[in-house]
Structure 1
Amino acid sequence: MSQRPPTPRADAPLVVFDFDHTLYHGDSGTHLFKWLIGRAWWRVLLALLLAPVAAPLVAFLPTRRAGISVFVWAGTLGVRDRAALDALIDRYVATHAGAIKARLLPLAVEVFQRHREAGDCVVVATGAPPELARAILAFVAHEDVPVVGTLLGPAFGGMGALRHCHHAMKMTMIRDAGFVQPVEQAYSDSSADLPLLQAARHPVVVNPKAARVAMFRRVLPPATPILNWGCPGRAGDPAGDESAG
C-alpha cells in the first residue's frame, strides 16, 4: 500500500463489510477454533464428545451462538481472560501467515481500499473474534480499520461467545459501537446478514452460495449487484466497478 487513507469525516458515508467469504475466502473463526482445539489430543477428544450436541446447534440460527460457544470452550479451556486469548490468536495468525494471506481476496481488498481512499467510514462487522479480523487485515495494512466482532468472555474455566455478531445482532453491535449513521453501502455473502443488507441504501451481495441467489434477488432491491470477487466455489456475476455508492 502507498499512503495511509484519509481519516473519515464526521459525516462520511458508512460502509460495512462482512469478513468471511467477503474479504477472506473461508470461515476465519472456524479455522482459528480448529487450531485451538488441535493444540492438544485431549481437546480434540473433548470436541468429538461434544460434537453430537453442539454441531446441530450451530446449524440453526436461534441456537448458533450456543453451539459455537461449545467448540470455543473446548479450544480455550484453561484460558482465563481476553488478553491470553488475544495472545493465542496473534500466535495462530503469525504461524499461519502464508495460508491466511492467500485467503484474502485481492479484488475484495481493492474495493475495500477504494472506499477508504474515498474517505468513507469503513467498518468490518464479522462473526469472528475482532482480534482475529484485525490481525488478518494487518497483512494488507488495514490494522486501523474499526472491527465489530463476536465478543468472547470467560465461561466455565474457558471462553465462550457472550455476544455473537450475527444476523440482527450484527446491526445492534454496529450501532452500539457508535456507528449510528445510516448504512450507505454493505457487502456480504450471507443470508444471515439480511438485516445489514436490507438496512443499507446500496446493498451488494458478494460470493453467495448458489442456492441463495434466488432468495437475494427476491428480498433485496431489483438493482442489487450479486457478484463474485474471485471466491472459489461461490456464485455471483463477474465483478465490475461496484464500489460507487
Structure 2
Amino acid sequence: MKLALFDLDGTLIEKDSDHAFCEFLIALGWVNADEFHRRNNQFFKQYQAGCLDIDAYIDFATAPWRWRPAAEQQATMQRFMAEVMQPQLLPAAHALVRAHQDAGDRVAIVTATNEFITRPIADAFGVPELIAVKLQRDALGAVTGRIDGIPSFREGKIARVDHWLAAQGACWADFEQTIFYSDSTNDLPLLERASEPVATNPSPALEAIARERGWRILRLFE
C-alpha cells in the first residue's frame, strides 16, 4: 500500500480557502470591510513568505463568526461551499485523488487551514481522512479562537501525520511509497519527508527547488 497525502489550498483547489472565507465574511457584512480586508491580505502575505503567526491568524479569522449560533455558522459554511468553493472543485483534482483511492492507497488531506473550513471541502473530494488545524473549544463546544494541539503547519504537518498514523497502529515504514502533493515552500518539511514529493501547481520558489532536486512537477489547473 502507498500513502498519498495532499495539501489543499493551491494544490487541490486553486484558491486559498482560508483567505477566501475571510473575504466571504466581508461580503456578508460581518466585519469592517476595509480593515478586515487589509489584515486578511497582510496575514496571507505572511503565509506566502513563510513567516505566518498562525496563532494570531486563527484568532483573527475566527473572530467574526465564532460567537454566532451553531446553526448560523453551518448555514454560512453551506453558502460558502456552494457559492465560492464548488467552482474550485475541478475534475483534474478529483481524478488525481480518485486514482489513488482506486489503487487502494491510504489517502489523506493535510492542510494548514482550520477544520471548520476544510471538512466540507474534504467531504466534497470524498476524502474522510482530514488532518487540519484543530480549533480549541470550550466546555460548551464554542470555538475559543485558539488552536487545539499542534497546528498542521510547516513542521507540524509531519507531527500530525505521525500522530494520525500511530492512532491507526501504523507508521511511515509500513508503506512501500509515501507521496505528498503540495504547491508551497511552507510544506518543504513534509515534501522532504515523503519518498515521492510532487510539486503541484508550484509557486515559483517551490518550482525552482523542485527542478534543482529533480522532483516531479504537476499542474492541475492548466
Residue number in structure 2 paired with 1:125: 110
Q: Match of 1:153, as an amino acid?
A: Q
Instruction: Count the aligned residue pairs.
Output: 209
* Percent of pairs with identical residues: 23
Cα separation, 2, equivalents of 1:178 and 1:62 = 28
Shift of 1:17: 0.6
C-alpha displacement of 1:104: 1.6
> Counterparts in 2 of 1:57-136, with a 5 A limit?
58=47, 61-79=50-68, 84=70, 88-89=73-74, 91-136=76-121
- Quick check: 1:90–1:132 contact (8 Å CA) kept in 2? no
Partner of 1:160: 146
Q: Normalising by structure 1, what TM-score?
A: 0.71
Counterpart code for 2:88: R
The residue aligned with 1:151 is 134
**Partners of 1:90 and 1:121 in 2: how far apart?**
31
- Pairing partner for 1:31 from 20, 29, 32: 20
Deviation above 6 Å: which 4+ runs of structure 1? Answer: none
Gaps of 5+ in 1: 1-11, 232-245
Structure 1 equivalent of residue 39 of structure 2 = 51
- Contact 2:77–2:117, Cα closer than 8 Å, also in 1: no
Shift of 1:175: 1.1
The CA distance in 2 between the partners of 1:153 and 1:98, in whole Å, is: 27
Given the alignment, which residue of 3, 10, 17 partners 2:6? 17
Is the 1:33–1:71 contact (alpha carbons within 8 Å) kept by the matching residues of 2? Answer: no
What is the CA RMSD across the aligned residues, in angstroms? Answer: 3.2
SS at match of 1:126: strand
